Amino acid sequence: MWSLIKIILRSKKFYITIGALIVAGALFLVVLNNYIMPAYTNYDEGITVPDVSELSLKEAEQRLKACDLRYEVADRRANSAYPANYVVDQTPSATEIVKPERKIYLTVNTATNPKVTVPEVVNLSKRNAEIQLQNYGLKVGTISFESSRFKNSVLRQSVKAGKIVPKGTVVDLAVSDGLGEKMVTIPNIKGLRLSEAQQKLQKVGLRVGEIRFKPSKKVDANVILDYQPHKAQIVEGKSLKLVVSERYNMKEENESGAIIDTTNVAAPDTTNNQ
């Protein structure tokens, strides 16, 4: 076996064959890179996408075909500013450089807004609910947070599932913040500035609800004078109503009033305090 290998390695024909294979491989890569792949991918060819927005669908089709481009109607929506079957949007946008035969996706105006059935998103996660609504052509509106056990789970939707509504209808969501399983002690916030009180309440899982301002001669502005409910403990996630000081008959002409930190302010709590 070794003797055969030695004979092969000493043969000039072996090295000539190896050299020929290397040269052939190099030539093939040069041809592939410079000729075959550019021809396959239209390397040196590019087309500037024409602007077909605000044109009728027929005119847009003709203009795109003249530029060796294809199109597809990706969406239809109602817009009173345009006649029916007029292009209101396109992707890729005008002036972009694309390859020949590239498909341009068009959004076309309709005379009437299409109807869609609202999906059931209660008990879905906030993220999945948003995706589901968007897939149905609906818009996610205001997202409010309420105390409930399962964090980021949708508790309610403003438009009932199964209802047929115009495409683009806004659906508001109430989402769980994961609180509400335990009782927490209300910290002493009297005498604190509003921003400090908010931070202290937030640390124990409580919210700031309604804020009422009361003029005071003895106390600086934005200081907590009182709060409700007057309890030692309440359910985690509940909101407190605050009474906050403001200047007493000393508002300057350009003064806008007390400054409120709204980062921890919740919507007014309409449920009975526990």
| pLDDT tens-place string over residues 172-231 | 999 988 766 678 899 999 999 999 999 999 888 888 989 999 998 888 999 999 999 998
pLDDT of 119 > 60? The answer is yes
Q: Which residue has the higher pLDDT, 268 or 98?
A: 98
pLDDT given for residue 180 in this prediction: 62
In 149-163, which positions are buried (b, 16+ CB within 10 angstroms) versus exposed (e)?
eeeebbbebebeeee
- pLDDT tens digit sequence for 32-53: 777 766 666 555 568 899 999 8
Q: Write phi, then psi, for 62 (nearest 5 degrees).
A: -65, -40
DSSP character string of 112-143: SPPEEEPPP-TTSBHHHHHHHHHHTT-EEEEE
DSSP E strands in the chain: the ranges are: 47-48, 70-78, 87-91, 97-98, 103-110, 115-117, 139-146, 154-157, 164-166, 170-176, 183-185, 207-216, 224-228, 233-235, 239-247
Rounded distance, CA 210 to CA 265, Å? 8
Rounded distance, CA 69 to CA 185, Å? 67
Could you tell me the pLDDT band of residue 268, with boundaries at 50, 70 and 90?
very low
pLDDT given for residue 178 in this prediction: 76
CA-closest candidate to residue 208, choices 258, 262, 263, 266: 266
CA-closest candidate to residue 53, choices 37, 71, 40, 35: 71
pLDDT given for residue 44 in this prediction: 54
Q: Write phi, then psi, for 216 (nearest 5 degrees).
A: -145, 135
pLDDT of 263 > 80? The answer is no
Rounded distance, CA 240 to CA 245, Å? 16
Query: Which region among 102-106, 128-132, 181-185 has the lowest average model confidence (pLDDT)?
Result: 181-185
Q: Which residue has the higher pLDDT, 68 or 178?
A: 68
Token reading at 63: 């203009």
Could you tell me the pLDDT band of residue 9, with boundaries at 50, 70 and 90?
low
Could you tell me the pLDDT band of residue 272, with boundaries at 50, 70 and 90?
very low
Query: Which region among 108-122, 163-177, 239-253 has the lowest average model confidence (pLDDT)?
Result: 239-253
* 3-class secondary structure, 231: coil
Token reading at 238: 């509940």
Regarding beta strands 170-176 and 224-228, do their DSSP bridges make them parallel or antiparallel, or are they unpaired? unpaired
44-58, 128-142, 228-242 — which one is most confidently predicted on average?
128-142
The model carries a pTM of 0.41
- Are 257 and 239 a contacting pair, CB within 8 Å? no
- Are 144 and 97 a contacting pair, CB within 8 Å? no
Q: Which amino acid is at 35?
A: Y
